[in-house]
């Protein structure tokens, strides 16, 4: 199937919360969902609040008993069915997500592949997620994994379907029910996906309440009848979610920001390294926590590398998101656009040098959107532009001469989500990887995501791991049962 056309997407006029298998009316009215690039109204989405969250949590609690008792073979089959359905409907959903987020349509091939793989991975992983059993003196010891209950899951706007799959797949596989709060800026594909789930899952197993974070999101994390909090987004809101979990003694997983170093050793093929680096800082419009936005380049090749990096940046096609040849498109909204441009001003004031880019570009027919040039900034490692998450298509470039020095530079940030290394010397690469404070290190191939590879952050990048068997640990708790064959003899305690 080829790319869906805009005419094919056929959106509903409005999307209320999806609760107990049905789309209903939100208690607090609707919010406009806008095409990020051209500003046109796409649809209206429910402004979820306390009342909707209450209904959703009630539905999820009611569904929990049956769902958690469903045979794992059956849950596995249903997850495969979700993957098949997502695959069959992907072209339309990709186009919806493209218009909603402003990201280039071609990128969604990867997003949807990862999302489908997630459902398939957990459909299989749950079948081998076994407890243990062994004889002990006069009896038997059993350890088993039990689901937690209702999971409150909150996700951001940058990669809606990847985030949905990361949250839903392990939680459902483990036997939990859930309430998902997507970001109000990009949730139309998720609302459409929820309608497809209504034909696959029992009522109440998955509920989706769209709306503002401060309303629907806050009501969800504060709800007394949820049993686990899972959040992806900024460190600021992540702290709040973590604090709530602490006060309520709830298990929590947090996937927060990133500012990944991408280290270039002098032995690389420069053309190949430039290509990998360019993908690493511009994909997702730069709106991702995993991007390699701090390029640390060895002094011996620095000048040639920068020259080629700039030449490559000049070739990147900025254009209409729905055009398959576009490589950089619109940021999510004006707030994000101004935030990114604001960071370039900060960089200039700090004395960093913008070597290329730094400007907003107008794309005819899409004047509403914030299209930003790929931007290369020469910066000192301590500068804010090299320390803080920008979430736009920009990378800092910094020279290094000594391996210990570059490892120190790479680690000297509050984040630790991902890192990249480019070298032909595998020994050097692995030795460096071992010393980096990052949850994922990609050698010679930036964001090389593989199912089953734990994904999550060190330091302020978060708590917990997704995308892997470990995620099942985060959505279950262990129960130990020790069974003695007989009661002890009478009087044994005298």
Binding site for ligand NDP (CB under 6 A): 154-158, 181, 183-185, 212-214, 217-218, 221, 232-234, 237, 240, 255-257, 289, 339, 389, 391
Residue tagged 């006060």 (tokens): 247
Stated as kind and residue range, the H or E segment containing 96 is helix 90-101
- Yes or no: say if 385 and 378 are a contact pair by the CB < 8 Å rule: no
**Site of tokens 């695959």:** 87
Which of these, 255, 253, 256, 203, lies nearest to 228 by C-alpha position? 253
Beta bridge partners of 262: 295, 420
Using the minimum distance from each CB to ligand NDP, give the nearer residue, 378 or 389.
Answer: 389
Q: How far is the CB of 350 from ligand NDP (least distance, A)?
A: 18
Query: Quick one: 218 or 375, whose CB is closer to ligand NDP?
Result: 218
| C-beta closer to ligand NDP: residue 342 or 365 | 342
Are residues 263 and 397 in contact, defined by beta-carbon separation less than 8 angstroms? no
Residue 255 designated active-site: yes
Q: Specify the residue for token string 């000594």.
A: 402
**Measured from the CB atom, is 192 or 215 closer to ligand NDP?**
215
What own/partner pairs with CB < 8 Å and gap ≥ 24 does 442-447 have? 442/418, 444/276, 445/276, 446/262, 446/276, 446/277, 446/279, 446/280, 446/292, 446/420, 447/280, 447/283, 447/290, 447/291, 447/418
Select which of 91, 97, 255, 373 is catalytic.
255
Closest CA to 197 of 84, 49, 348, 29: 84
Whole-angstrom Cα distance, residue 162 to residue 85? Answer: 15
On whether the CB atoms of residues 335 and 323 are closer than 8 A, the answer is no
Q: How far is the CB of 43 from ligand NDP (least distance, A)?
A: 16
How far is C-alpha 209 from the chain's CA centre? 18
319 or 369, CB closer to ligand NDP? 369
Nearer CB in complex with ligand NDP: 157/442: 157
Query: Considering the complex, what minimum distance in angstroms separates the CB of residue 339 from ligand NDP?
Result: 6
- Least separation in angstroms between residue 415's CB and ligand NDP is 9
H or E, element range at 298: strand 294-298
10 Å Cβ neighbour count for 315? Answer: 9
* Distance of closest approach, residue 37 Cβ to ligand NDP, in angstroms: 18
* Nearest alpha carbon to residue 447 among 236, 162, 230, 232: 162
Minimum CB separation from ligand NDP for residue 253, in Å? 12
Concatenated DSSP letters for 152-213? EEE--SSSHHHHHHHHHHHHHHTT-EEEEE--TTS-HHHHHHHHHHTTTSPTTSEEE--S-I
* Least distance from ligand NDP to the Cβ atom of residue 486, Å: 52
Q: Which residue is nearest to ligand NDP (CB)?
A: 213
Q: Residue 86 or 417: which CB sits closer to ligand NDP?
A: 417
Catalytic (active-site) positions: 255
């Amino acid at each position: 199937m080829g790319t869906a056309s805009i005419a094919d997407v056929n959106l509903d006029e409005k999307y209320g919360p999806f609760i107990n298998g049905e789309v209903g009316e939100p208690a607090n009215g609707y919010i406009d969902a806008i095409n990020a690039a051209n500003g046109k109204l796409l649809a209206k989405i429910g402004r979820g609040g306390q009342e909707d969250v209450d209904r959703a949590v009630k539905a999820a609690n009611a569904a929990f008993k049956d769902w958690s008792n469903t045979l794992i073979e059956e849950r596995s089959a249903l997850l495969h069915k979700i993957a098949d359905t997502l695959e069959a409907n992907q072209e339309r959903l990709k186009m919806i997500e493209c218009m909603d987020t402003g990201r280039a349509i071609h990128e969604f091939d990867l997003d949807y592949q990862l999302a489908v793989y997630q459902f398939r991975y957990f459909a299989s992983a749950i079948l081998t997620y076994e407890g243990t059993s062994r004889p002990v003196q006069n009896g038997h010891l059993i350890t088993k994994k039990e689901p937690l209950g209702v999971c409150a899951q909150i996700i951001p706007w940058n990669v809606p379907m990847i985030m949905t799959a990361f949250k839903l797949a392990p939680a459902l596989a483990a036997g939990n029910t859930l309430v998902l709060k997507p970001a109000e800026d990009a949730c139309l594909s998720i609302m459409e996906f929820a309608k497809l789930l209504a034909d696959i899952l029992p009522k109440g197993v998955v509920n989706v309440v769209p709306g503002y974070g401060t309303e629907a999101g806050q009501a969800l994390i504060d709800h007394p009848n949820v049993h686990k909090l899972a959040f992806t987004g900024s460190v600021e809101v992540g702290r709040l979610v973590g604090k709530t979990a602490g006060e309520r003694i709830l298990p929590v997983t947090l996937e927060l920001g990133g500012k990944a170093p991408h280290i270039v050793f002098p032995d690389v093929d420069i053309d190949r390294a430039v290509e990998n680096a360019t993908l690493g800082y511009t994909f997702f419009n730069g709106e991702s926590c995993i991007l390699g936005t701090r390029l640390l380049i060895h002094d011996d090749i620095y000048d040639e590398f920068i020259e080629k990096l700039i030449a490559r940046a000049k070739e990147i096609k900025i254009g209409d998101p729905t055009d398959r040849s576009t490589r950089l498109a619109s940021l999510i909204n004006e707030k994000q656009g101004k935030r990114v441009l604001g960071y370039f001003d900060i960089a200039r004031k700090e004395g960093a040098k913008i070597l290329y880019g730094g400007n907003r570009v107008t794309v005819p027919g899409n004047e509403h959107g914030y299209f930003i040039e790929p931007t290369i900034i020469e910066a000192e490692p301590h500068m804010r532009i090299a320390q803080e998450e920008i979430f736009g298509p920009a990378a800092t470039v910094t020279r290094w001469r000594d391996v210990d020095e570059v490892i120190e530079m790479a680690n000297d940030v509050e984040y630790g989500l991902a890192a990249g290394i480019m070298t032909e010397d595998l020994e050097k690469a692995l030795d460096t990887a071992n010393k980096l404070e990052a949850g994922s290190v990609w050698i010679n191939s930036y964001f090389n995501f593989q199912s089953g590879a734990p994904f999550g952050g060190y330091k302020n990048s978060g708590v917990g791991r997704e995308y892997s068997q470990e995620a099942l640990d985060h959505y279950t708790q262990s129960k130990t049962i020790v069974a003695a064959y007989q009661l002890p003899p009478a009087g044994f305690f005298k």
